[in-house]
Amino acid sequence: MITVYAFRSLPPIVRGYVRDIRVRWALEEAGLSYEQKLITQDDQKTESYRALQPFGQVPVFEEDGLVLFESGAIVHHIAQRSEALMPSASDVAGRARVLQWMFAALNSIEPVVQQLTEIDLFHADKPWAKERKPMLVERLDGRLGGLSRRLDGRDYLEGRFTAADVLMGHVLRFMRDELDRFSVLAAYRKRCEARPAFQKALADHLAAFG
């Protein structure tokens, strides 16, 4: 049985955005059942949990003695066993392209999104944040422009839904107003969020909080 570790409690402002949703979503798309194990902030600090996740974060994926951390690595592991998320092993080029876009979501888009999100949520009134934000917005607009051109005329990054869209779709959830300038990306995010597998993953994530 697959076990996914997630938080038992979270501040309302971050509920629905934590990275365990990516793993849940991939599992739902792949048709793989799992159970969840909910942890507290105290659990994060224990030696036993740090043995599973060196940084004390979530998610953690556990199955038959295999323990994985980092949401991108976990989603890739799931995708490798499901043609719903990754082309078949015989399509080497197709699998490489999906992996390419998975890395793009985590390396080219998410870091800038995360910096802007942290400024808006926690440092908006600080002078250094006001000076830094325009530079980050300009950088993000450049990245989103490239992503928008890729998706123009496509429903998903590789034409049909793959693991790359799990990661990219979740990353774009952190943005609302920023996507007003990119109608192609706003439509893409809505398309991803409308998928039954995402809706189930989100509902299960939120159910942990009562």
The chain-wide mean pLDDT, for the chain, equals 95
3-class SS string, 63-114: ECCEEEECHHHHHHHHHCCCCCCCCCCCCHHHHHHHHHHHHHHHHHHHHHHH
Q: Cα separation of 26 and 197, whole Å?
A: 8
- Domains defined along the chain, listed by start: 2-85+197-207 (3.40.30.10), 92-195 (1.20.1050.10)
Average pLDDT over residues 149-162: 98
Average pLDDT over residues 164-173: 97
Confidence of residue 177 (pLDDT cuts 50, 70, 90): confident
Nearest to 200 by CA among 14, 21, 62, 68: 21
Predicted confidence at residue 175, as pLDDT, reads 86
Predicted confidence at residue 98, as pLDDT, reads 98
Residues facing 37 on adjacent strands: 5
Confidence of residue 163 (pLDDT cuts 50, 70, 90): very high
